[in-house]
Structure 1
């Protein structure tokens, strides 16, 4: 909401950031136009209400499916596209390339129910400027829109922190002359590497436990630790990652 007060070349808003220079995109009378595409009508309503409650942003269109989203992008101009990662009839990520083709200046922010680094990286690789987890305590759709509309990025804090940590590990590895696989090998214990190799050979947790003379619970504990260190969520991903890095 905009307050009545004005200070020189600034407008004052209750929503942060409360000081808004007149040089920024998103001004009263020239708001940032936003398309909202999400299968959940309740969420669309919540997002639209927040955006329409701030004079710096306006909802220029809404859609609840991939098909309707394509039509909306084709027929109506926008400055920012807010699109759900998983729509009922397909991946919202498919709209990023269409937005690039039809509305080149438009920025894309992907909305997700899951706090997933893999999904975030897929979105960024395709050209998204933001990745927002819907139920994050820190989510502000107005801020997300204004950030990307003004050349920035909008990433849920928990996701951005993990991505920064991964970047830091990769830079440290480069400086030490180590490959990512070598860094992970250092971090994995000998037992975890042993379990990883057995998983790659197709053994179950029970079979691994029998061979190593440890309980199935202990095996699963090693597997969980490996998932965290490899940044994966399944055995197949762990094996693929380990194989590409020469760990097995």
Structure 2
């Protein structure tokens, strides 16, 4: 008799300064067969330490905490590498700090009052290497947050080494990704096979050093390939 393969288990580090919030997240995650709680942290400093010690697959990262906030904790975790996927949790969906968290290296964000199934889907998506911010929402998100931050230092797009390394086609695809196009839309509008689009995106991620689609979009904004509306 053939055994059914066991689904991989995603380990999650919960970071929030509110004990009741952490308890709620733990109860939800422990109800899932494919998830386990690696640990809990109540401060950014503790999150950095536990991320290194426990090597979770995903970190649920609160932004506003006393002492080291979630943005700085995200930055430090990313700098240490290899790193888990970080999912920023915000109180408000227009929280200007969410973009700063993405720029620090997070793979996406969710609001704290998201439905349980939305949070679980977000964790699974991030663990699988996808960006939790849906492609169609990417431009709205970054347009909203980029106005709150100073422009990233560096050279113009033509001299940005991450962009200069791309072929003309790859630069074109990066630009339309930043405009919120899905893979299907890119394939249809640029007359490419969807598998070819995926190959181009994989090369774009490798050349720019971006960890996922959201990070690639931030590169496009930093390099001025696109501008906020």
1:156, CA displacement in angstroms?
8.6
Is the counterpart of residue 121 in structure 1 residue 133 in structure 2? Answer: no
Whole-Å Cα distance in 2 between the matches of residues 149 and 100 of structure 1? 15
- Counterpart among 84, 87, 95 of residue 109 in structure 1: 87
Query: If the length of structure 1 is used for normalisation, what is the TM-score?
Result: 0.51
Q: How many pairs does the alignment contain?
A: 148
* Structure 1 equivalent of residue 171 of structure 2: none
Aligned counterparts, 1:141-220, within 5 A: 141-155=119-133, 162-163=140-141
* Structure 1 equivalent of residue 63 of structure 2: 85
Query: If the length of structure 2 is used for normalisation, what is the TM-score?
Result: 0.55
Whole-Å Cα distance in 1 between the matches of residues 3 and 19 of structure 2? 38
**For the structure 1 residues 126 and 164, does the alpha-carbon distance in structure 2 shift closer, same or farther, using more than 3 Å as the test?**
closer
Whether the 8 Å CA contact 1:132–1:139 is kept in 2: the answer is: no
Whole-Å Cα distance in 2 between the matches of residues 160 and 9 of structure 1? 41
Aligned counterparts, 1:130-141, within 5 A: 130-137=108-115, 140-141=118-119
Q: Unpaired segments of 5 or more residues in structure 1? A: 1-7, 11-21, 172-244
* Structure 1 equivalent of residue 147 of structure 2: none
Whole-Å Cα distance in 2 between the matches of residues 132 and 74 of structure 1? 23
| Higher strand proportion (structure 1 or 2) | 1
Is the counterpart of residue 52 in structure 1 residue 30 in structure 2? Answer: yes
Which structure has the bigger radius of gyration? 1
Larger RCO: Structure 1 or Structure 2 (Cα < 8 Å, ≥ 6 residues apart)? 2
Q: Unpaired segments of 5 or more residues in structure 2? A: 145-174, 180-226
1:106, CA displacement in angstroms?
1.1
